[in-house]
Structure 1
Amino acid sequence: MDPVIIVGAGPVGLTLALALARQEVPSVVLDEGPGKDEPRPARTVVLREDTAALLERLTGAALGEHGVRWAGWRSLRRRHVVSDIAFDAAEPAPLHIAQHVLTGFLRGAIAGEPLVRTVVDSRLDAIEQERYGISARTRGPQGTWWRGSYLVGCDGPRSTVRKLQDIRFPGRTAVERHAVAALRVELPWEGRALLHRMPPWRSSGPSAGEVTARPLPDGAWRLDWLLPPGNDLVTPEVLLTRIRETLEGWSDGPAPAYELLDTGVHTVHHRLARRWRAGRVFLAGDAAHLLGALGTQGLDEGLRDAENLAWKLAAAWHHGPHEALLDSYQTERRAVVAARLRAADQVLPVLRGGGALRHIVPGAARSQDTLLTDGHLGRGPLGAPGTHAGSPLAPRRPEAEIPVGTPPGAQVTDVRVTAEDGSFVRLRDRLDRGALLVVLIAPGTGVWDRKHWMSAGVMPRLAAAVTALPHPAELLVAESYPGAPAHSVLLVRPDGHLVTALSGVRPADLYAAAEATLGEAAHGEQRREEDKDEAAGDDRTATARAGSGAR
């Protein structure tokens, strides 16, 4: 079967290629550029703990050694500390890393991956879809036609793929603007990120009073100043003035010596593509959505797009078309991003000066600083990982379903499990391999050798049920899981979202849930309807013939 064509070699496109390769699906990455990235210290990304773990699984690199996991987060208002958060196991720290460093690790991993071919200096020019495949034409030194099974546009805000498919991209332009500087300087909050609203050295007004400081490796920091609405030019003199007065204000004296590494202006747009799928063509990352106001992270959402789409494309590539499964990519991910954009639109008037609207805007009664912290740290409606409770892949609730600490559709908690070879691993390490995960909660098994409990109790029956599932699945055993009683069974999607938790071994319920997760329930229902229509047609034909014979 032909490879998947990925248009765009940014972090989302490269992550998708590696995720497909992990599931033994080949891909061709069409890179419009020369295959390397210009170092830009002021262009950084903040990754939530689970998306950073995804990239570490795919690259095999310890990204935390090349970025900074913050020790904490401090929010100031004028001179007063509003909140001071220390990160720990209960609230893992985000990872802050320069984007060119992250992309370099992804490119390095792809260089050693035989299932991924990267073609540089190749600009997409045309797409042609057929029933059994897709063709893409590129121009440039290696311009030619490329044949693929599917095509994914990861080619950014000005996506050629989106334009060639005539997909609208409505939304808002310049929702926020920030002046950005990367400095090497010593600040009073070593390793801790800072949000400072209405600092006393700035003039009053919502647009003049917000600065964020986020640490980077080697004593560097990224500083962002919220700019007033409009397109006023940020001159070097204006930026240097902001740097000086900010450092002086934080030091309560002369500004400390600093080295200016990089500067820029970051403009935030909010847009959402009308469709994320057109036949064999899909959109992901900035080609499908733009967000980023109030501290939210667009790249983090793009990586979730890649993880969600990869296992569904892999299932279709290995096992034949799964239209309901492929359709669910748009349904699930677009709903999550749309909810994020709606939440930002609701609170923007309050946070940026519309205090009079506080009594009518949902959620606005919460502290403004708390809402901003949510966006920056990936919490609450502005930033928390999305769930797929309303997904078309969600099974009908089985009678044996029980509540656990993770609601259906949400990301599972990373716990220690025993793999089928008897080794102890983290649950998260088994994700993104294309297989469903079936986790038995069995207290006490951790102290026994696998050979003693694999043939005891419910294990033989559960193992047989897992083998009979309509999709490859891996059986894991955990000593415990939050909120799960002993002998409960969890079914987990390849991307780590909980399908259901069952009380005991229920082969029929487990099979039905797995079938729904693959979109097979909808496919089966459609097939049954087609069979009924065909049977009805046969009955009508037989009746007509009988009537003709009677005459």
Structure 2
Amino acid sequence: MRPVEPPWTDALREVDVVVVGCGPVGALTANLLGARGVDTLVVERSTTPHGQSRAFSCDDEALRVYQQAGLLDRVRAEVSVPPLAEYVNRRGRVFARIALSEIDFGYGHPPLHFFDQPRLERALRAGLDRFDHVRLALGTELVTLDQDGDRVNLVLRDVATGREWTVRARYVLGCDGARSRTRAAAGIGLVGRSYAEPWLAVSGAAQPSAVRVEHTTFVCDWRRPAFVSPGAGGTYRVELMLRPGETEAELLRPESVAALVEPYVDPERFTVDRAVVYHFHRLVARRWRSGRVFLLGDAAHQMPPFLGQGLCSGLRDAANLSWKLALVLAGHADPALLDTYERERRPHTVAMLRTSVRLGRVFLTRDRRAAWLRDSLLRAVQTVPRVRRFVERFEFKPVPAYRRGLMAGGRRRGAVGTMFPQPSVLVPGEVGPVPLDRLLGDGFALLGRPESVDRLDRASAAADTDRPAADRPAADRAGADRPAADRAAAAAADDADADRAADAGRAGAGDRPGTDWPVAVRHVVVHPPGTRPSSLDRPRIGRTGERQSRRGGPVERVDVVDVDGVLGEWLRRHRADLVLLRPDRFVYAVATSAGIDRVGRDLGAALRPIRHARPGPGDAAGPEAVPSLS
């Protein structure tokens, strides 16, 4: 990362992407773009990471996103993993329990993590130091922006001096929070509502012996609902609803804070770092894209905290959009691909918001009789094993899946459109099991049984050998290690090759054996449990001169041992020989060996639709309708 001291000069500056805001979502987005080689400028109004803890929790899907950004070790060092969450009545009697330590959704990480936001932000910003093509401009704010078709013109201002200058970007990502200046500048409104009840959030450091409530606990007291939990690094969090007639000034007095936290932590040994009164919201932006401007995180959606999914949803936004932007900027995909960002993310976010609201209704009962009925009902239904499992295993949380978007057929069907599991596997050259994602690379990946992948490799190699060099796409002729600056030119030549083929009346890849991938696809060969890793070939990744796929880059191959049989069972359950994963680990397609050619053609059509049907630069289809949030 190259720090920027604004303003650089009075001259106009050009950059591929400007990320507005460097909180957790903005910093993570910049890391994902940096890992994919995107020239990125991050602007942040503050000069230091946020000094107080606001966001507090994230889930297994969030850890998987950090993993994709190469930040897992940094983040894991800053989080704690709670074993249990309980719902108790005002007398402390448990009426619902979530056994977090027994839950495994299959994505490679525990289901819940707590963190200290200032330390997390420092870790994420430190990750940017890996990239010379990512620049961070602190003490810089967005003033205005406008679009002229192929670029966004941003006026930025140095907060300290008031001096302004202009930057031109191909795309702008607004990660600047609930009061997003990006959203306002793009003229995008919000729909939904804010809750009238104010809450007091208190966070600080507590000695272990000072903690009186040791587990994550939702205190469903009809007089004053509360949430309390130990956090990462010796921190403790207490959130309580204000009662009618109580004022912010009254409750923020040190003696009031001490009295309120006293049932949960000894105030004499609890150092308060932050005490603030806030309201929570259920709001979603009317649209998440305006031309070349996109909204992510709280700029696009805000939800109640009861499911702990506010930050997680923003991280999912970053994981969904970053790889698509990288493909478009490199010339490997049509800009229309970017329309799938909101098409995929909005329905899932709204489902998560609605679940948070429903959970809040359970938690926020303010009537004594209604609270008694709730407690009695929840205790009773948990005597039914299936209902108890539904609660204890957190099955009410919406699964990571997309209804429509970039997937075979354009719609979710079976496993298509869902997040693929991440078991541990054995691989030659590694000591002990490693997480699957570490071996998938940062692009598309094709997983399958040895016979299926070997058959595909042999057919593709034979087709490449038979095909005249002059008839191969420019991407193949350019070589696996061509400079990044040549990618756009190679992609343009590739388009010309496709046009010539169409003019000649060639039907496409299905007329030849092998698969014509439109982008580089790593092949991952899944061997059954009991296979000795030493008997397998070492991974072939990024070797100069490696055999090329006919339209993508080099064919990379990794052989893995399915230690626990998770991958083999997944393929059996979905009656598949092969599964194609997107860079964000969602399933693009499942196929038999005979049907994989069609998958390659469909992916090519999805990434590069017929030209006369393409939207203009920065155009967006937009959502079909703004869904109700009730």
CA change 1:260–1:282 in 2 (3 A) is same
Deviation at 1:216, TM superposition (A): 2.4
In the other structure, the counterpart of 1:302 is: 314
Letter in 2 for 1:511: G
CA change 1:436–1:38 in 2 (3 A) is closer
The match for 1:193 among 216, 219, 241 is 216
Residue-by-residue CA offset, 1:156-200 (whole Å, 9 max, x unaligned):
1111111111111122123654322224132678974233333xx
In the other structure, the counterpart of 1:202 is: none
Cα distance in 1, alignment partners of residues 268 and 346 from structure 2: 46
CA change 1:123–1:369 in 2 (3 A) is farther
Cα distance in 1, alignment partners of residues 594 and 244 from structure 2: 59
The match for 2:133 among 112, 115, 118 is 115
Is the contact made by 1:68 and 1:95 (CA closer than 8 Å) also made in structure 2?
A: yes
Cα distance in 2, alignment partners of residues 328 and 88 from structure 1: 35
The 3-state SS of whatever aligns with 2:262 is helix
In the other structure, the counterpart of 1:210 is: 226
Deviation at 1:4, TM superposition (A): 0.5
Is the contact made by 2:229 and 2:238 (CA closer than 8 Å) also made in structure 1?
A: yes
In the other structure, the counterpart of 1:178 is: 199
Is the contact made by 2:226 and 2:238 (CA closer than 8 Å) also made in structure 1?
A: no
Cα distance in 1, alignment partners of residues 155 and 419 from structure 2: 38
1:87 equivalenced with 2:101 (yes/no): yes
The match for 1:488 among 577, 588, 593 is 577
Cα distance in 2, alignment partners of residues 495 and 193 from structure 1: 30
CA change 1:512–1:368 in 2 (3 A) is farther
CA change 1:526–1:45 in 2 (3 A) is farther
The match for 1:262 among 259, 273, 283 is 273
Is the contact made by 1:75 and 1:369 (CA closer than 8 Å) also made in structure 2?
A: no
Correspondences of 1:521-532 after superposition (within 5 Å): 523-524=609-610, 527=613
Letter in 2 for 1:169: L
CA change 1:321–1:441 in 2 (3 A) is closer
CA change 1:190–1:31 in 2 (3 A) is same
Residue-by-residue CA offset, 1:227-259 (whole Å, 9 max, x unaligned):
346773223232211122344xxxxxxx58523
Deviation at 1:282, TM superposition (A): 0.5
The 3-state SS of whatever aligns with 1:468 is coil
In the other structure, the counterpart of 2:34 is: 21
The match for 1:53 among 64, 76, 84 is 64
Is the contact made by 2:440 and 2:524 (CA closer than 8 Å) also made in structure 1?
A: no
Which has the bigger relative contact order, CA under 8 A and spacing at least 6?
A: 2
Letter in 2 for 1:408: V
Deviation at 1:429, TM superposition (A): 2.3
CA change 1:527–1:428 in 2 (3 A) is same
Return 5+ residue gaps in structure 1 as ranges.
199-205, 248-254, 359-364, 443-452, 531-551
CA change 1:309–1:412 in 2 (3 A) is same
Deviation at 1:309, TM superposition (A): 0.7
CA change 1:369–1:283 in 2 (3 A) is farther
CA change 1:131–1:425 in 2 (3 A) is farther
Deviation at 1:468, TM superposition (A): 1.9
Correspondences of 1:507-518 after superposition (within 5 Å): 507-515=596-604, 518=606
Cα distance in 2, alignment partners of residues 411 and 74 from structure 1: 28
Cα distance in 2, alignment partners of residues 46 and 491 from structure 1: 31
The 3-state SS of whatever aligns with 1:150 is strand
Residue-by-residue CA offset, 1:191-215 (whole Å, 9 max, x unaligned):
74233333xxxxxxx2514332233
State percent identity of aligned pairs: 21
Deviation at 1:143, TM superposition (A): 2.8
In the other structure, the counterpart of 1:39 is: 51
Is the contact made by 1:296 and 1:375 (CA closer than 8 Å) also made in structure 2?
A: no
Residue-by-residue CA offset, 1:109-158 (whole Å, 9 max, x unaligned):
11231120111222111212122222211122463111211111111111
Is the contact made by 2:304 and 2:353 (CA closer than 8 Å) also made in structure 1?
A: no
Letter in 2 for 1:441: R
1:472 equivalenced with 2:512 (yes/no): no
Cα distance in 2, alignment partners of residues 375 and 487 from structure 1: 29
Letter in 2 for 1:53: R
CA change 1:22–1:376 in 2 (3 A) is farther
Please, what TM-score do these two structures have when normalized by structure 2? 0.68
Deviation at 1:33, TM superposition (A): 1.6
The 3-state SS of whatever aligns with 1:212 is strand
Is the contact made by 2:225 and 2:363 (CA closer than 8 Å) also made in structure 1?
A: no
The 3-state SS of whatever aligns with 1:213 is strand
Deviation at 1:16, TM superposition (A): 0.9
The match for 1:429 among 425, 438, 458 is 438
The 3-state SS of whatever aligns with 2:406 is coil
Please, what TM-score do these two structures have when normalized by structure 1? 0.77
Deviation at 1:343, TM superposition (A): 3.3
The 3-state SS of whatever aligns with 1:61 is helix
Is the contact made by 2:336 and 2:614 (CA closer than 8 Å) also made in structure 1?
A: no
Return 5+ residue gaps in structure 2 as ranges.
1-13, 371-376, 383-387, 464-512, 527-561, 617-630
Is the contact made by 2:174 and 2:182 (CA closer than 8 Å) also made in structure 1?
A: yes
Cα distance in 2, alignment partners of residues 351 and 190 from structure 1: 18
Deviation at 1:455, TM superposition (A): 9.0
Aligned length, in residue pairs: 484
